[in-house]
């Protein structure tokens, strides 16, 4: 006589498997998240070291150049133009022919191009847990959107430390042609490199915003947009009573997938800090500017801020907020 499981025994086995699955699946999810976090921190460390190596090859200066180079998009889909083609239409937003998208532009919005020779990898700049904001839409084989060909889903450069240029195809009177760093744009100009942020994770821009002062055309100085209210709105969920309409203390996992803010410092090390800790190391709008909050400081996505309030009230290297070089 053949022996077989009874229905009760089968149900017991199925129940045990279901219980084990319920216990293990969250553990697997946590392990996957931890692995992505480790990859993200590793990527950021390699990026920071690449920037330091760049500065070592260029007389201590951080990268900040601007240019236009055929077939050098960070998105390889665009790098199919015949040799000898004028790259200009791919280095400005749009022309009468409908080209554009900045795919071949070599400025701070594509700062990764500056250090790719040191990283040897473009994939290093894409975050393992943040969805890409910029796609690869094309029209007649060329990018159609303002930000096509750029990478803005993970790592952002603090251009207040490096400085940046908007000199390609520009005149001396163009707004923000030269944005000099408030620290001088050199490694040695950073007062406390082990505490100053060079890169961080950011879900909406490839650069950490700057505050331009004076607000003039041509040459200006880029100070960090170190407004606590702004950063609270970027890290916390919206729809609350916070100064910028955020739910203070409620992290948005789509913006901070690991519920921390990983920071790459100017000395090359990387550390993940709690959102509250990051905000605590950032001055309020009033502390920084001496004035009451202006709502222009709240929105995400605006890389440049200008103000009529004058220069920041906290000097570079003052030691009050070293995360921002202040």
Q: What are the pLDDT digits (tens) for 38-53? A: 888 999 999 999 999 9
Asked if 103 and 138 touch (Cβ cutoff 8 Å), the reply is no
Higher pLDDT, 137 or 314: 314
Does residue 94 carry a pLDDT above 60? no
For the segment 254-260, the average pLDDT, to the nearest whole number, is 86
Does residue 141 surpass a pLDDT of 60?
A: no
pLDDT at 96 over 50: no
> What's the mean pLDDT when you consider all of the chain?
85
Does pLDDT of 137 surpass 80? no
Residue 121 near residue 167 (C-beta atoms within 8 A): no
CA distances from 323 to 11, 41, 95, 106, 273 (A): 58, 18, 41, 27, 12
Distance between CA atoms of residues 266 and 263, nearest Å: 10
22 or 3: which leads in pLDDT = 22
Task: List pLDDT tens digits, range 259-305.
Answer: 899 999 999 999 999 999 999 999 999 999 988 888 788 888 777 77
Average pLDDT over residues 208-226: 86
What is residue 143's three-state secondary structure? strand
Residue 132 phi/psi, 5-degree rounding, is -65, 135
d(CA 135, CA 252): 22
pLDDT at res. 139: 56
Within 13 Å, how many C-alpha atoms sit on residue 117's CB side? Answer: 8
Q: What percent of the chain has pLDDT over 90?
A: 48
Instruction: Using the predicted structure, report yes or no on whether residue 195 has a pLDDT greater than 90.
Output: yes
Instruction: List the one residue out of 203, 207, 325 whose CA is nearest residue 266.
Output: 325
Strongest mean pLDDT among 102-106, 107-111, 266-270, 302-306:
266-270
Residue 281 pLDDT: 98
- What's the pLDDT at 49? 96
Angle formed by the axes of helices 112-119 and 7-57, nearest 10°: 100
At 25, the pLDDT band (50, 70, 90 cuts) reads: low
């Amino acid at each position: 006589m053949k022996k077989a499981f009874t229905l009760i025994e089968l149900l017991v086995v199925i129940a045990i498997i279901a219980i084990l699955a319920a216990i293990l699946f969250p553990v697997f999810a946590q392990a996957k998240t931890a692995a992505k976090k480790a990859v993200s921190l590793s990527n950021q460390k390699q990026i920071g070291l690449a920037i330091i190596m760049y500065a070592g090859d260029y007389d201590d200066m951080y990268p900040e150049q601007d240019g236009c180079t055929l077939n050098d998009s960070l998105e390889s889909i665009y790098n199919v133009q015949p040799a000898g083609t004028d790259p200009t239409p791919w280095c400005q937003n749009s022309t009468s022919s409908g080209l554009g998208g900045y795919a071949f532009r070599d400025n701070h919005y594509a700062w990764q191009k500056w250090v790719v020779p040191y990283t040897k990898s473009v994939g290093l700049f894409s975050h393992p847990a943040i969805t890409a904001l910029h796609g690869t839409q094309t029209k007649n084989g060329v990018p159609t959107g303002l930000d096509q060909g750029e990478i803005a889903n993970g790592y952002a450069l603090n251009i207040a430390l490096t400085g940046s240029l908007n000199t390609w195809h520009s005149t001396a009177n163009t707004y923000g042609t030269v944005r000099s760093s408030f620290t001088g744009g050199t490694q040695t100009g950073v007062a406390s490199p082990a505490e100053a942020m060079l890169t961080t994770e950011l879900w909406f821009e490839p650069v950490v915003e700057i505050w331009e002062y004076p607000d003039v055309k041509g040459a200006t100085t880029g100070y960090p947009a170190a407004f606590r209210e702004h950063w609270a709105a970027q890290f916390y969920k919206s729809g609350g009573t916070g100064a910028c309409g955020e739910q203070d203390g409620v992290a948005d996992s789509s913006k901070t997938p690991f519920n921390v803010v990983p920071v790459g410092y100017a000395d090359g090390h990387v550390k993940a800090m709690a959102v509250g800790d990051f905000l605590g190391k950032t001055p309020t709008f009033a502390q920084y500017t001496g004035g009451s909050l202006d709502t222009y400081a709240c929105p995400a996505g605006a890389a440049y801020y200008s103000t009529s309030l004058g220069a920041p009230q906290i000097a570079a290297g003052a030691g009050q907020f070293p995360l921002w070089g202040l």
